[in-house]
Amino acid sequence: MTRSFWGRLAGFAGLPAISLITPLLVLPVLGRAAGADGWASLLVGESVGTLAAIVVNYGWNNAGPPRVAEADTATRLRLYRESLLVRGALAVGALPVMVVVCASLSADGFLVPTVLMGLAGAVPGLSFAWYAVGVGDPRPIAVYEAVPRVVAAAVSSALILWTGQMVFYPLLAVSVSLGGIWLFGRTLGRSTAPGPGVRDIGRLLVRDRAVAVADMATGAFGTVPVPVASRVASPSAASSYASADKLYKYGQYVPITLANALQSWTVEVAPPGRPRRLRLALVGHGLLGVVGAALLAVLGPTVSGLLFGQDVRAARDVCLWLALAFAVVSVRMSLVRHFLLPAGRARAVLIGTALGAALGVVGMLTIGRAAGAAGVAASLAVAELVTAVLLVQPALRHLTVVEEEAASWTTSSGQG
């Protein structure tokens, strides 16, 4: 590994540390202020908003970084403008639908904060983080996203304690997210070349449809369980599941950070070095998944009780199933981001994630009705496992191709 990689990894590794401060500042206050019914309602809104963010993002988190990593400055700026055009158009259509869904799923007395939590979950779909990942520079994410969110969380926590009004957290979260996106855009400057226009939206949507649909299918894994649990389980069990899901989601900051740090690192090296980097990426994600799963399984109930309150403490059986899902998700991130998408295998990703998502949603609705929150968690874990199994074979085929290219490159260089 090169020194530049270690510097990049150190920079990206600091981001989850900053991001993890946010729940410690505000969620203990929010969970206790909302009570069991309100807590589940707020997290349902956030989950629906996160799904809307995935729709708005339209696959740029996965497809964007490899494109930017291999592009010159002018092309990078054009790519960013394309992303804003597509994601802005999708936001216009998706956000009103999200508001209606959040309102319909909200608990009595929590309509406004639930809708606002949905908006707070949806706005990150417009984030520039994928661009920073592609250029291998984590500083803009820290300056314009992570640190402002921590400040907003601290301020909103104080305001909630003072007034008892939960709306301050999502309102400030939305404000700092939109402000950070605007400030980052100003740092990129203006291009003299003609940029994409409204007439290009259709072409860009068609170009990225496979990656986008795969992302949406994957997003269903992570966002559907909380709303489903709120419908198939008792209010107390649904609140308990929401707490376990929150720990599961925050734990994913760590493998996401590793995937981001390795994404351009695995493609920017000459062919002889690529097989080794791909293997290291996969092994690293596997080890991280095992460690994270063990922590969630053992400490999940205790930590959730301390963070969110004993009334909404995560159940042990739910934590065990989500721990299995966490380990699989960590490996799947590497298969998708480091192997398949850079190889142009978006179709394989789409098929695997669509089949897994379909199985998972059916399982949540059927097994969840019979077994409650634990059935929802088990369905999520099994769906993730099926998806990962379906992606292993095409990923290994790509590794074989990379190894053959490395051998050919070495042979030709030796003859030269």
Sorted by where each begins, the domain ranges of the chain are: 3-409
pLDDT, tens digit, 9 for 90 and up, residues 312-321: 899 999 999 9
d(CA 8, CA 136): 7
Under DSSP, is residue 398 helix (H, G, I), strand (E, B) or coil? helix
Q: Work out the mean pLDDT of the chain and round it to a whole number.
A: 86
pLDDT at 213 over 90: no
Q: Which residue has the higher pLDDT, 202 or 133?
A: 202
pLDDT at 1 over 50: no
d(CA 118, CA 169): 12
pLDDT at 138 over 70: yes
pLDDT, tens digit, 9 for 90 and up, residues 379-392: 999 999 999 999 99
pLDDT at site 44: 86
pLDDT, tens digit, 9 for 90 and up, residues 46-69: 889 988 999 999 989 888 888 887
Give the pLDDT band (50/70/90) at residue 269. Answer: confident
pLDDT at site 6: 57
pLDDT at site 101: 94
Give the pLDDT band (50/70/90) at residue 415. Answer: low
- Asked if 48 and 116 count as a contact pair (C-beta separation under 8 A), the reply is no
Between helix 235-251 and helix 253-263 the angle, nearest 10°, is 30
pLDDT at site 414: 58
pLDDT, tens digit, 9 for 90 and up, residues 220-230: 667 788 888 88
pLDDT at 2 over 50: no
pLDDT at 413 over 70: no
Compute the CA torsion angle 316, 317, 318, 324 (nearest 10 deg): 110
pLDDT at 13 over 60: no
pLDDT at site 5: 57
pLDDT at 416 over 80: no
d(CA 78, CA 195): 6
pLDDT at site 7: 57
Mean pLDDT over residues 272-276, rounded? 88
- Asked if 237 and 373 count as a contact pair (C-beta separation under 8 A), the reply is yes
pLDDT at site 242: 86
